[in-house]
Amino acid sequence: MTTAPIRLGTRRSALAMAQSSQVARALERVSGRSVELVQIVSEGDASRASLSQLGGTGVFATRLRDALRADECDLLVHSLKDLPTADAPGLLLAATPERADARDVVLTRDGTALADLAPGATVGTGSPRRIAQVRGENPGVEVRDLRGNVDSRMRRVRDGELDAIVLAAAGLSRLGAEIDLVAEPRDLAAWPAAAGQGSLAVETRADADAELLETLRALDDPRTRFAVIVERAILAGVEAGCHAPVGVHAVIDDDELRVRAAVYGAQPGDEVVVDRAEPLAQEYIRPQGSGKGADAASRVAHERASGIGALVAGLLLDRGAAELISPSTAS
């Protein structure tokens, strides 16, 4: 049995370090080995340009994946919503731990609801999806680009530079941030989030040793994995990048999967929405154990989830979704 420390590669931002530390502690419990955090600087961390200018899809993942392939670390922890939907050659998504709160929250100084903000009020977000959702709920507000860490973003509201900002609930929770602003959680049924939002992805090399792969399997939550495969298959099916104006959320309730997917256009009200419910056999979302049988069951579950996602993507396209996605957001 290997006793050497496991090297976990992570971005150096406070949020990345917090969620990587969370996975590291869980990994230490199941493996009995120590876990060292290896900080890696990505282009997205070094640049202050907007995500759309940086290219959006995968801007935080590329450098980390290069480090993993170069054996600078043994595994990576990503925010799943930031990962491109295409497979990364030579790498494997080995685990998706149980999902946190997938909702967005709107933060304001005084608790004014987004819909009630006065014309000309300023709302900060750098996400094309959130921009479209904000304008759809309140066409009179002005949207400002938003970068920086969570504290600096909230400071802009406290200082009066912005009237509101939109953030992911999971990030606030993982940071344990002290929030002196008023949070308005968004209902996922009306405001679907990014594909994979609230989920973490543990990635390693496809040729990693069997002991590490087996250890990582213990961190996997089958229900989370199934739901996010559906969401990412929808994103891939409409040929949209992870920063395109697409909201999607899949949730499993007993033996049924419910999906809501929306593609947004440039003008308020320009959107294509699909709601879908699919029966779901329990074997798809049951822990698979280990061995060849477990691998086969995992492949079957992956195919079922991918098929549902492709079906929903096809419905979106049939209803005109492609016309709402610009070339710059589909790359």
Side chain identity at 319, as an amino acid letter? R
Annotation marks residue 242 as catalytic: yes
Which of 11, 63, 65, 81 is catalytic? The answer is 81
Query: Catalytic annotation on 129?
Result: yes
63 is catalytic: no
Catalytic residue among 63, 65, 135, 153: 153
Of the residues 74, 82, 101, 220, only one is catalytic, namely: 82
Among the listed residues 109, 144, 147, 258, the single catalytic one is: 147
- Residue tagged active-site, from 63, 217, 232, 242: 242
**What amino acid is encoded at 41 in this protein?**
V
Bridge-based pairing state of the strands 75-79 and 91-95: unpaired
What's the rounded Cα separation, in Å, for the pair 318 and 184? 34
| Residue 130 known to be catalytic | yes
187 is catalytic: no
Rounded CA separation 281/252 (Å): 11
Residue with tokens 């992911």: 168
Residues known to be catalytic: 81-82, 129-130, 147, 153, 242
